[in-house]
């Protein structure tokens, strides 16, 4: 399964795994939301509400598509957050940790370079939609 996430200055696709939360998310597409920024993470509310899955994690790789159960939101980290080890250090000392606010359900991965999310600004409108074969 793939989704497209778009905002005024860009878009990306993500490959979504088959999980209970991802099935719930796919069932409400398309939807629109307002972007929020936390360090080098973009997140936004969804119409889905789910509890933590057994493999929920707090520390993830850049480009992970995660569902923040505490906020019913998609969390898209592309770098450190304010609670990442090394936050505020020079990038050479960062080490690549993306620490989310709390354990999140892992839904999949962004296709390509997740740093494209750096162009998202707080307050940007976000649209999430399924990628269909004729719109890939």
Rounded to whole angstroms, the Cα distance separating 74 from 110 reads 12
- Residue 131 per-residue DSSP state: P
pTM: predicted TM-score of the whole model, two decimal places: 0.91
Rounded to whole angstroms, the Cα distance separating 74 from 113 reads 18
Tell me the pLDDT tens digit for each residue of 38-74.
999 999 999 999 999 999 999 999 999 999 999 999 9
pLDDT of res. 90: 58
Percent of the chain beyond pLDDT 90? 82
Alpha-helical segments (H) within 1-136: 20-26, 91-94
- Would you tell me how many other CB atoms lie within 10 Å of the CB of residue 112? 11
């Amino acid at each position: 399964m793939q989704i497209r996430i778009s905002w005024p200055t860009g878009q990306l696709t993500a490959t979504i795994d088959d999980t209970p939360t991802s099935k719930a998310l796919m069932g409400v597409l398309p939807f629109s939301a307002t972007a929020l920024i936390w360090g080098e993470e973009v997140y936004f509310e969804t119409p889905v509400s789910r509890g933590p899955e057994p493999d929920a994690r707090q520390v993830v790789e850049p480009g992970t598509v995660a569902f923040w159960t505490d906020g019913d939101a998609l969390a898209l980290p592309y770098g450190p957050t304010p609670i990442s080890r090394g936050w505020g250090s020079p990038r050479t000392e960062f080490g690549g940790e993306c620490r989310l606010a709390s354990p999140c359900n892992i839904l999949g991965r962004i296709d390509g370079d997740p740093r494209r999310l750096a162009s998202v600004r707080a307050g940007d409108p976000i649209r999430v939609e399924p990628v269909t074969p004729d719109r890939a």
